[in-house]
Structure 1
Amino acid sequence: MVNMDQIAGLAKQIKGSIRQSIGKATGNRLMQIRGMADKSAGQVQKACGDMKAMLKKAM
């Protein structure tokens, strides 16, 4: 079962990857950095969602 944190985390990771790629292609270093930040935030949010799912399953 997937929860909203997992979905939102994956969406942020995808958004970050796209932003980072566009930044690389255009030479926009700031956009690359923001993309990396979005990817990291998405990974953290997805990990929180994974933890919630594990806790819910354990109960």
Structure 2
Amino acid sequence: MNKDQVSGRAEEVKGKIKETVGKAVDNNRLKAEGKADQLTGKVKAGYGDAKEKVKDAIDKA
């Protein structure tokens, strides 16, 4: 697991927490920020996953 994967997954968790808190206190801005953080995290994690696949393919070659 590389740092992009870890960072992305952490960002997703942070976003989920923000979204949940936003729902609990009925704060639309906080909910939206949470969803945006989750999306950012998914993109980072996807990039890290792709890097890992390329690295694995190179190692196998």
Q: Specify the TM-score bucket, using the shorter chain as the normaliser.
A: over 0.9
Matched ranges for 1:19-58 at <5 A: 19-58=18-57
Q: CA RMSD in A?
A: 0.2
Q: Write the distance in 1 (CA, Å) between the matches of 2:9 and 2:53.
A: 17
User: Rg larger in 1 or in 2?
Assistant: 2
Runs of 4+ in 1 over 6 A off after TM superposition: none
Deviations 1:19-56, CA, capped at 9 Å, x for gaps:
00000000000000000000000000000000000000
Query: Which segments of 5 or more consecutive residues in structure 2 lack a partner in the other structure?
Result: none
Matched pairs, number: 58
Q: Write the distance in 1 (CA, Å) between the matches of 2:13 and 2:38.
A: 7
Deviation, structure 1 residue 57: 0.3
Query: Which segments of 5 or more consecutive residues in structure 1 lack a partner in the other structure?
Result: none
Q: TM-score, normalised by structure 1?
A: 0.98
Q: TM-score, normalised by structure 2?
A: 0.95
